[in-house]
């Protein structure tokens, strides 16, 4: 009988929602250490996204992947871009 401990890594899936918009789906699939090492958690996360109505293409990542480390910088970058756009939208050009 196998009593290998199950791990529940946090996985993010970039996919498409029912409206066809890009969306993130998050879940914590249960895998063994061997399954984690083999990337099984990525496939389980994509399956979970499909089961919850999301469509492909799908890219999955966890906290150990470069994409996860970039998220904070991306959010900051998007926010700064939005602020500049709002400021320029209110500006008028005098001639």
pLDDT in tens, 23-82: 999 999 999 999 999 999 999 999 999 999 999 999 999 999 999 999 999 999 999 855
Domain boundaries, the chain: 11-64
* pTM for the full predicted model: 0.79
Task: Tokens for 80, please give them.
Answer: 């700064």
Indicate whether 87 pLDDT > 70. no
Q: How many angstroms separate the CA atoms of 76 and 62, rounded?
A: 20
Task: Tokens for 26, please give them.
Answer: 């998050």
pLDDT confidence tier of residue 3, bands split at 50, 70 and 90 = confident
């Amino acid at each position: 009988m196998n009593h290998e401990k199950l791990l529940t890594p946090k996985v993010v899936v970039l996919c498409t929602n029912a409206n066809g918009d890009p969306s993130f789906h998050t879940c914590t699939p249960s895998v063994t250490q061997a399954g984690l090492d083999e990337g099984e958690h990525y496939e389980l996360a994509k399956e979970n996204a499909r089961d919850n109505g999301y469509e492909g293409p799908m890219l999955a990542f966890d906290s150990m992947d470069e994409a996860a480390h970039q998220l904070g910088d991306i959010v900051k970058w998007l926010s700064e871009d939005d602020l500049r756009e709002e400021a320029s939208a209110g500006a008028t050009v005098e001639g």
